Structure 1
Amino acid sequence: MTQTSDARGTAVPSKRLSRLWHLGRATTDLAAGIGFTGLVDMARTRGGGQPARIQLSPEHTRRFTDRLAKMRGAVMKMGQLMSMDGSDIFTPEAAEIMASLRDRAEPMPLSQLAQVLEREYGSGWDKGFKRFDFTPIASASIGQVHRAETKDGRKLALKIQFPGVRDSIDSDIDNLAFLGRSLGMAPKGIDIDPFLEEARRQLHREADYAAEADAMDAYRERIGNDEALFIPGVHRDLTTQSILAMDFAEGVPIDHLAGPDYRRAERDRAATLLMRLTLRELFELGLVQTDPNFGNYLYEASNGRIVLLDFGATKPVSAKLVEQYRALAQSALAKDRGAMRSACVALGYVGENDPSEHVDAMVDLLEMAAEPLKHPGHYDFGTSNLFERVYHSGRELFHSGAFTTAPAPDTMFLHRKFMGSFMLSRRLRARVDLAEMARTCI
């Protein structure tokens, strides 16, 4: 078997006490970066029900992200989500460094990788491979990806899970919950425990690669024959709970299209394909890949095809929830505020007896968020400040303590997917005709 030299890596901390220690160090870096004055300000905003504001220097942000990248697992996943929040949480410099968590994790050392391969495939596992590249081609929060070729000629990408990640999810979530409450990030008056439990369940699903293989096959079947999209095939004989074997796919990360080597037409087309897919997932397929990480999409420049990766966060959506969102979208398009209010009550965004001014504020926010759907022709995400407007208004509303109810935890991941799709369109500076999509998909 041909192999490449091993890239240096750090062992994944798999014991609970070890992960607690690393998280404690990360928290220390965070607190040191915020400083005494910053912590006092955060305590004041917390007492007043306002969102926490984190102003970190680039040096302390880099230390914080380096620590999360070494830990991997749920804490790194949380860091990725933090990096996708708005600019009012971090300084622009700190936000740019945090964004590195979207596609970066420390690889595990060769000794740890060999233990995983032998545990999953048995001793002498290498005899089935003609080539195995021990240097990972990608490394994320839960696992890393290696290129390989079997003796029978199959060219594969093997996603190999970091040891101990599955067992560390519960303690990581508990520690993150404590950290979030301590820093005043939990919204006033809202019980976040159901949302944390949903996040816990989601991470356990993502850590089961056999279940992800099932999700890939189910998603491919529902998508049907779409030549613009490609989902790698699963190789069941080499897939386990901790290793996912799939076809190797060429391509560049989708956000590279924002660079000078690609034309506007390519950016517009790619964003249009993925935005349409987002709408189809909810309103047609009833199956949503809820992780909007840009690294989950590759672009094949030779044929313009988009490769869809990482189905661990795929979730079915109930027919009832789909129809509730359809009612909300249709009422927003029709500018029917009464119907929007009814849809908001059904979804749990507002309570039936909430004060009218609070309900009106929520309807105003949703009307603002629907701006691209109502815009005639192509909506230019590259020049729009919609994300900032929705983010600031929504965050202020969410932390105001004005509401008596909260939507079902399932909606958290749908919001995450739609936000990610909008952010990708903005990253690509794309023009997308969402109004036409809405007429055909909703």
Structure 2
Amino acid sequence: MDGREVAVKVQYPGAGEALLGDLRRLARLARGVAPVFPGIDIKPLVEEIQARAEEELDYHLEAEAQHTFAEAFRGDPQFFVPDVVEGGTTVLVTEWLESPGSLATVIAEGTQEERDHYGELLVRFLFSGPQRTGMLHADPHPGNFRIMPHEDGSPGRLGVLDFGAVARLPEHGLPPAMGRLLKIASAEDHEELAEGLRREGFIKDNIRVDPQLVLDYLAPFVEPTRVERFRFTREWMRGQFERLNDPRQPTYTVATKLNLPPSYLLIHRTWLGGIGLLSQLGAEAPFRSILEELLPGFSD
């Protein structure tokens, strides 16, 4: 193009047809399974999934999002987002990002220093992005985050790729209610937590739940906020998964009673995926102070 190294992303004809077809079948199936999940408004949730999937296939929207992030993080000492060079319906050309590997490399062979460093940067990027751009990068796959060490080999910046999946946030940031609810849960006020979740639409008016069980169910999101530094591990994540999916545990039925408002769909996907990625990294960092700094409502 002008002598620069670039990366090219191509969408082949019909690439999204199978996915959209699957989502249409999911919408039909949802009507049949709705009675099994009385606490969930399934129809609007499926409609939101379909709408966001269509956005992920739109290269014009992806180019717009990536350029917005690139502008917001230009010159940042901690992050690098390659800008868009050229975009079209089926092709997206971006600046080249020079990197020896991704977070997958750190997961496989990284030192503890690298795990902690890049794990903290991942969290800082996910929470600072909405403030700077009004959007949340919603695809925390290890390959989308590239390591950029300093010349001496020490951990450096975090490069970020793939802006097809982003949550566009109308308040130009994460919902303050989300931070307030997490702060209440961190303080273990289960009654106020249940009331707040009901106000935000996470618990429907006709659904009755045990507030303490709701707090227990949300432990994977809450535990890291209760200490100055928290280490995510595979063992911790595995224990949380087994506890929440064990029919013998009292928290097992909570999942059928909690609703997910459509506006929180990609936020939930990102938060859950981020926790999984941090657990693979085995990262330790001051996550509570990061939330106090970057999550609206948490420090109120």
C-alpha separation between the residues in 2 aligned to 1:294 and 1:415? 17
1:156–1:246: 8 Å Cα contact kept in structure 2?
yes
The structural deviation recorded for 1:157 is 0.6
Q: Deviations over 1:46-77 (max 9, x none)?
A: xxxxxxxxxxxxxxxxxxxxxxxxxxxxxxxx
Q: Deviations over 1:398-435 (max 9, x none)?
A: 766863x6231221211110111111111111112112
Of 250, 254, 271, the residue aligned with 2:119 is 271
Q: Deviations over 1:331-361 (max 9, x none)?
A: 223333343223211222213453352x332
Whether 2:147 is the aligned partner of 1:299: answer yes
Of 114, 120, 135, the residue aligned with 1:287 is 135
Q: Which residue of 2 is the match for residue 362 of structure 1?
A: 214
Counterpart residue identity of residue 166, structure 2: T
Of 227, 241, 256, the residue aligned with 2:89 is 241
The structural deviation recorded for 1:395 is 8.4
Counterpart residue identity of residue 103, structure 2: I
Counterpart residue identity of residue 232, structure 2: F
Which residues of structure 1 form unaligned runs of 5+?
1-149
C-alpha separation between the residues in 2 aligned to 1:235 and 1:395? 49
Q: Deviations over 1:27-59 (max 9, x none)?
A: xxxxxxxxxxxxxxxxxxxxxxxxxxxxxxxxx
C-alpha separation between the residues in 2 aligned to 1:180 and 1:440? 39
The structural deviation recorded for 1:381 is 1.2
The structural deviation recorded for 1:258 is 2.1
C-alpha separation between the residues in 1 aligned to 2:15 and 2:237? 37
Whether 2:102 is the aligned partner of 1:253: answer yes
The structural deviation recorded for 1:193 is 2.7
1:208–1:312: 8 Å Cα contact kept in structure 2?
yes
* 1:298 partner SS: strand
Q: TM-score, normalised by structure 1?
A: 0.58
C-alpha separation between the residues in 2 aligned to 1:166 and 1:233? 25
Q: Deviations over 1:91-128 (max 9, x none)?
A: xxxxxxxxxxxxxxxxxxxxxxxxxxxxxxxxxxxxxx
The structural deviation recorded for 1:388 is 3.6
Counterpart residue identity of residue 65, structure 2: A
Q: Which residue of 2 is the match for residue 310 of structure 1?
A: 162
Indicate how the Cα distance of structure 1 residues 395 and 351 shifts in structure 2: closer, same or farther if over 3 A, else same: farther
The structural deviation recorded for 1:219 is 2.1
Of 220, 225, 236, the residue aligned with 1:385 is 236
Which residues of structure 2 form unaligned runs of 5+?
296-300
C-alpha separation between the residues in 2 aligned to 1:258 and 1:177? 36
Counterpart residue identity of residue 436, structure 1: S
C-alpha separation between the residues in 2 aligned to 1:153 and 1:179? 51
1:258–1:267: 8 Å Cα contact kept in structure 2?
yes
Indicate how the Cα distance of structure 1 residues 337 and 436 shifts in structure 2: closer, same or farther if over 3 A, else same: same
Q: Which residue of 2 is the match for residue 347 of structure 1?
A: 200
Which segment drifts farther, 390-399 or 222-231? Answer: 390-399
* 1:312 partner SS: coil
Which segment drifts farther, 211-220 or 329-338? Answer: 329-338
Q: Which residue of 2 is the match for residue 188 of structure 1?
A: 37
1:369–1:386: 8 Å Cα contact kept in structure 2?
no
C-alpha separation between the residues in 1 aligned to 2:133 and 2:235? 29
Q: Which residue of 2 is the match for residue 332 of structure 1?
A: 185
Q: Which residue of 1 is the match for residue 289 of structure 2?
A: 436
Task: Please provide the CA RMSD for this pair.
Answer: 3.0
* 1:216 partner SS: helix
Which segment drifts farther, 284-293 or 199-208? Answer: 284-293
The structural deviation recorded for 1:231 is 0.7
Counterpart residue identity of residue 201, structure 2: G
C-alpha separation between the residues in 1 aligned to 2:91 and 2:279? 34
How many residues of Structure 1 are paired with residues of Structure 2 in the alignment? 285
2:202–2:261: 8 Å Cα contact kept in structure 1?
no
C-alpha separation between the residues in 1 aligned to 2:278 and 2:164? 23
1:284–1:441: 8 Å Cα contact kept in structure 2?
no
Q: Deviations over 1:178-224 (max 9, x none)?
A: 67889x79953334332222121112111111111100122233445
C-alpha separation between the residues in 2 aligned to 1:186 and 1:439? 39
Whether 2:221 is the aligned partner of 1:372: answer no
C-alpha separation between the residues in 2 aligned to 1:180 and 1:355? 23
* 1:235 partner SS: strand
1:233–1:246: 8 Å Cα contact kept in structure 2?
yes
The structural deviation recorded for 1:326 is 1.8
* 2:84 partner SS: coil
